[in-house]
Structure 1
Amino acid sequence: MATISDLPEDVLVELLSLLPARDLLRACRLVCSQWRDVVDLATLWKRKCQREGFYVQSLDRSIADWKVFYLLCKLKRNLIKNPRAEENFTHWKLDQNGGDMWKIEDLPGPLGKELPDSEVHKYFVTSFGPCFKSQLITLQEEGYWNELMDEKRPEIVVKDWYAARFDCGCRYELRVRLLSENYIVLEEFCPEPVVIEQWSDAMWREISHTFSNYPAGVRYIWFQHGGQDTQFWAGWYGIRVTNSSITIGPQTLKANEDTI
């Protein structure tokens, strides 16, 4: 009597590629040596990438491990919580809350401009004293296991949006750290502060940075941004920030590019 084990390998690959990755790795791979070998095939994970829209033909030659590529694509999402001020200050630690303190306003705000992303409706705004807020991301809690971070070193992409209001100058600062289990700084992105003069165009600008080939041992990512106005006016005339993001994904050919 024929069984599923008698199926040709290509048919078995097609069938198993329909199953969730968790089932493949935790159950199917343990059934027998034949299933283990099939689950380990690059063709199976490449097929899953094709099924779920992660496959790009131009990447064929640059992907060393299709299983890791699939898992990273599946995990990829914004690790910053409440990046658009839709939940007040939930998930943010207010490290400094100077002047009249942090505030949330609706776009475009007084003497401001709309953000290019029409899905963003709110932003955080600083005052005349230093205002900084941060988040600490625990990678294991987000599904990124230690061996993955140490051996594959997936790209960590940081993005943030900032803007001034037309009638007041302000200062913007960003600091992102990759931390070890003991909170030792393994790598840091800390660009020079951006100072925007009074009577600017009030346009929203994006800053981005990609961490790649960083040291082994990264267990946390610490993100902090903020600033203040440069004319010390009472109220909320300082830098505006929103739509922050940290994503982790497969290596690409565009690593180590910073844009401001």
Structure 2
Amino acid sequence: MLRRVSQPGAPTAENLLLFFSPCGHHEASHRVVDHNLKMQKIPDVSIKRNKGLRRPEMGARPSRRRLPADQPMALDALPPELLVRVLSHVPPRALVTRCRAVCRAWRDVVDGPTVWLLQLARDRSAEGRALYAVAQRCPPNGEDEEFPLCALARYCLRSPLGRNLIFNSCGEQGFRGWEVEHGGNGWAVEKNLTLVPGAPSQTCFVTSFQWCFKRQLVDLVMEGVWQELLDSAQIEICVADWWGARENCGCIYRLRVRLLDVYENEVVKFSASPNPVLQWTERGCRQVSHVFTNFGKGIRYVSFEQYGRDTRSWVGHYGALVTHSSVRVRVRLS
């Protein structure tokens, strides 16, 4: 193997040649054109043996050669079963918005159930293990024309278990998300009179001197709970509401929660009618809660309905205060 070495002020490459053996070591003898070295008065450069490396003396710069970079591995060359496992480590939103558009093979993986089941299997909490067992027994039944994504993909994107499915539960966004009927001077939004534990905002809805009504319809399937999971008898729906009164005026409060089928027909309901709060009694917030279990098949919606008014018929907003309403879905562990 023949290499050329040049230095500042040295002769041209044609006048200085170093011969190397095929194994990379220097030959015992090397040839240098002495005539040009003497004419230009350039000191000789000695080449020493040093474990196969050449070390030019007199301040010669070391070689800056870089090792060739490893070639990136092409994921499209992976077998399908290995590609599914690799993509299962990608966050759900990136899978849907980025990976699905790469190619047809990746789209088929994202649209299928296997990659999402692998994501569910990584949740080793008690609820995660229970959900994975139910998902294997009651997988989504094919594709839904109403929703283009796989039902398991919607679940992983929305993460409905344990999350409050009521939107704007404390009135921090006014009346967005609620169907409202105003009585008297209508509904209003105010600051809480007392601290409500766990509330995302310390604000509340306030009623007036006539009956005020508001309702929110929660679509469980749209929130990510697939229909077969709802029909599995392993799901519980927990509802709760906080309410209270002003100290100087009494109030009346009512709560009704109905589970509806796909046609919004009532299947089962829960109603709460606490005793009215009297004037000049201790103010504070009270909680009403209920857990729906064994509610049968076909449930699709939760209708969360609140009523309130005051007991003195005063102009203004002296009626029942309601806040931190919640609808949560959980897997039964036993």
Give the TM-score, by structure 2 length.
0.58
Match of 1:103 in 2: 188
SS of residue matched to 2:246? coil
Matches within 5 A, 1:198-237: 198-237=279-318
The change in CA–CA distance for 1:136 and 1:66 in structure 2 (over 3 A counts) is closer
C-alpha distance after superposition, 1:211-239 (max 9, x if no partner): 11102111111110121111211111111
Percent identity for Structure 1 against Structure 2 = 37
Larger mean Cα displacement after TM superposition, 188-197 or 224-233: 188-197
Match of 1:141 in 2: 222
- Contact between 2:272 and 2:288, CA under 8 Å: does it hold in 1? no
Q: Deviations over 1:84-105 (max 9, x none)?
A: 111111111113x111111111
Aligned partner letter, 2:218: I
Residue equivalent to 1:65: 134
Aligned partners of 2:255 and 2:307 also within 8 Å: yes
In the alignment, what sits opposite 1:171?
Answer: 252
Distance 2:328 2:240 in 1: 9
Partner AA of 1:250 in structure 2: V
Q: Contact 1:173–1:194 (CA<8 Å) still a contact in 2?
A: no
- Uncovered stretches (5+) of structure 2, i.e. residues with no partner: 1-76, 139-151
> Is 1:18 matched up with 2:84?
no
Aligned residue in 1 for 2:44 = none
Counterpart of 2:167, as a letter, is K
Matching of residues 79-90 of structure 1 within 5 Å: 79-90=165-176
Q: What is the RMSD of the two structures over their aligned residues, measured on CA atoms?
A: 3.5
Structure 1: segments with no counterpart, 5+ residues = 254-260
Per-residue CA deviation, residues 2-39 of structure 1 (Å, 9 max, x unaligned), is x976x9xxx99986753456969x988x77xxxx9986
Q: Give, in angstroms, the shift of residue 153 of structure 1.
A: 4.8
Which structure shows the bigger proportion of residues in strand conformation?
Answer: 1
Structure showing greater relative contact order (alpha-carbon pairs closer than 8 Å, 6 or more residues apart): 1
Instruction: Indicate the residue corresponding to 2:159 in structure 1.
Output: 74
Number of equivalenced pairs: 231
Q: CA deviation at 1:194?
A: 3.6
* Residue range with higher mean Cα deviation, 81-90 or 70-79: 70-79
Specify the alignment match of 1:184 in structure 2. Answer: 265
For 1:164, the aligned partner's letter is: A
> How big is the shift at 1:250?
1.0
Q: Which residue type is aligned with residue 103 of structure 1?
A: A
Pick closer, same or farther for the CA change 1:160–1:40 going to 2, 3 Å. closer
